Amino acid sequence: MSTEKKIEIQGLHNLVAPWGQREKKKRLGRGRASGLGKTCGRGHKGQKKTKSGNVRPGFEGGQLPMSRRLPKRGFRNHEFRTDYATVNIGRLAERFETGATVDPAALVACGLVTKPRMKIKLLGTGELTLKLNVKVHAISEGARAKIEASGGSVEVLDAAKASA
């Protein structure tokens, strides 16, 4: 016999998971000695002792839940509010040249807006010395004043819908 060691080539026919990679399934209800006999790790009595006893979050056993006991205050308009992607004027000076048209497509192309379908609102933080033609869905008064002071123009998109 030779003293050479056999080198096993690993392939799809002899794959083995690394040690500790796979955990054995918990075997419930297999006697007291297993540590998970009788009540199978679920404690004693009560609604949650059976498999059908998993109740939804916030359920308080039929008692009026906390979310319904507490008063509701304020105005919530989540369904119908208009969400805007906001852009500050100072960022326009970094990305555009004099005389450029700043519209939603241009803002997405230069990376200032990540979601193409969102409406865009221009805010007045920062300085602007470039003459830009801006077309956005909404604009703050400060931003409008700075653009017009630098010789640019502002067009509000969907203005007909906003006034109707």
pLDDT > 90: what percent of the chain? 55
Q: Rounded distance, CA 98 to CA 141, Å?
A: 22
Domain at 84-158: CATH architecture:
Ribosomal Protein L15; Chain: K; domain 2 (3.100)
Q: Which residue spans within 22-96 are E strands per DSSP?
A: 84-88
**Predicted local confidence at residue 55, as pLDDT:** 85
How much is the average pLDDT of 60-77? 91
Q: What angle do CA 6, 9, 13 make, to 5 degrees?
A: 120
SS3 of residue 4 by DSSP: coil
Q: Rounded distance, CA 121 to CA 3, Å?
A: 78
Q: Is the pTM of this model over 0.85?
A: no
> pLDDT tens digit string along 79-120?
898 999 999 999 998 899 999 999 999 999 999 999 989 999
Tell me the pLDDT of the chain averaged across its residues: 87
